[in-house]
């Protein structure tokens, strides 16, 4: 029987309060997650962990649970706050799924106290499923790194983006007694091989065209971030975690490219 490895609400509670300062909690695949303050949940001895050099010049954490469907190996942190007006909760991750054996694995989740929760799973049919929606909400490409984002702009629904394109809007389940983010090999009863290059969760300002460094204003301090977003989108995400790449899409055509340069200059000088 499939079972998601989660914290027990009666064991430890992490309570979020509304209106706290913005924050961004991230993992990058340079060291083991527990060396960056993530707590580990393990069953059946845990997965085989290794690091892989990726083309962008950094590393990804490879989680291999193919040895047994009884394995669970995931990582969590408690979340300190809910969004205030003008803010949203967002989770970003860059993931490559190479193999899934069984039903659903790997996965990512955010439990947001009274707001609700979202749990997404990758399945062997190359579909992404929400734990609470009984159909594939989107498709992923097996064997390819892709950027994913989930944005929660209110307490009722979430929006999923893949490589910057909105692919699904769905409901939250809730409320929850716990407030934490979790990712990795979440399921017992399935097995998988996946590489996690980046994972981030947090309360951030909403998107604003031209505010490429996400400091709340559009000014000359956005020039260097704009150039980086134009030349190296993955590097931009690493330099400005929790920021919105679409803030650099000045002409709103769905991509950040040379067509955004003149509109950006006009925005700065207007």
pLDDT tens digits, 64-81: 999 999 999 999 999 988
User: For residues 44 and 32, what is the distance between their CA atoms, to the nearest angstrom?
Assistant: 19
pLDDT tens digits, 152-173: 876 678 999 998 889 999 988 8
Supply φ then ψ for residue 159, to 5 degrees.
-125, 130
User: For residues 5 and 72, what is the distance between their CA atoms, to the nearest angstrom?
Assistant: 7
Q: What is the 3-state secondary structure (H, E, C) of 95-150?
A: EEEEEEECCEEEEEEEEEHHHCEEEEEEECCCEEEECCCCCEEEECCCCCCEEEEE
pLDDT tens digits, 183-237: 999 988 999 999 999 999 999 888 889 999 988 889 989 999 999 998 888 788 8
Please determine, for residue 12, whether its predicted confidence score (pLDDT) is greater than 80: no
21-205: in CATH 2.60.120.200 = yes
Q: How far is CA 92 from the centre of its chain?
A: 2
User: For residues 108 and 28, what is the distance between their CA atoms, to the nearest angstrom?
Assistant: 15
User: For residues 205 and 242, what is the distance between their CA atoms, to the nearest angstrom?
Assistant: 9
User: What is the CB neighbour count within 10 angstroms for residue 27?
Assistant: 25
The domain segmentation of the chain, as residue ranges, is 21-205, 220-269
- Percent of all residues in the chain with a pLDDT value above 70, rounded to a whole number: 91
């Amino acid at each position: 029987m499939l079972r998601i490895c989660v914290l027990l609400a009666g064991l430890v509670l992490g309570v979020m309060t509304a209106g706290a300062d913005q924050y961004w909690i991230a993992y990058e695949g340079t060291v083991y997650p527990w060396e960056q303050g993530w707590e580990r949940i393990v069953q059946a001895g845990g997965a085989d962990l290794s690091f892989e050099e990726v083309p962008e010049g950094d590393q990804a954490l490879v989680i291999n649970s193919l040895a047994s469907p009884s394995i669970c190996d995931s990582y969590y942190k408690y979340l300190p706050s809910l969004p205030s007006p003008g803010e949203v909760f967002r989770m970003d991750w860059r993931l490559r799924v190479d193999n899934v054996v069984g039903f659903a694995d790997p996965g990512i989740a955010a439990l947001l106290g009274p707001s609700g929760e979202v749990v997404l799973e990758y399945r062997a049919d190359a579909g992404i499923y929400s734990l609470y929606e009984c159909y594939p909400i989107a498709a992923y490409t097996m064997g390819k790194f892709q950027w994913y984002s989930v944005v929660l702009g209110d307490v009722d629904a979430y929006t999923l983006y893949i490589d910057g394109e909105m692919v699904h809007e769905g409901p939250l389940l809730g409320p929850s007694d716990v407030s934490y983010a979790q990712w990795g090999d979440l399921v017992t009863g399935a097995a998988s091989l996946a590489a996690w290059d980046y994972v981030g969760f947090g309360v951030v300002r909403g998107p604003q065209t031209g505010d490429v460094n996400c400091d709340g204003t559009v000014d000359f301090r956005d020039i260097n971030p704009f150039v980086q977003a134009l030349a190296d989108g993955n590097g931009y995400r690493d330099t400005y975690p929790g920021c919105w790449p679409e803030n650099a899409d000045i002409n709103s055509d769905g991509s950040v490219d040379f067509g955004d340069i003149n509109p950006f200059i006009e925005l700065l000088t207007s």
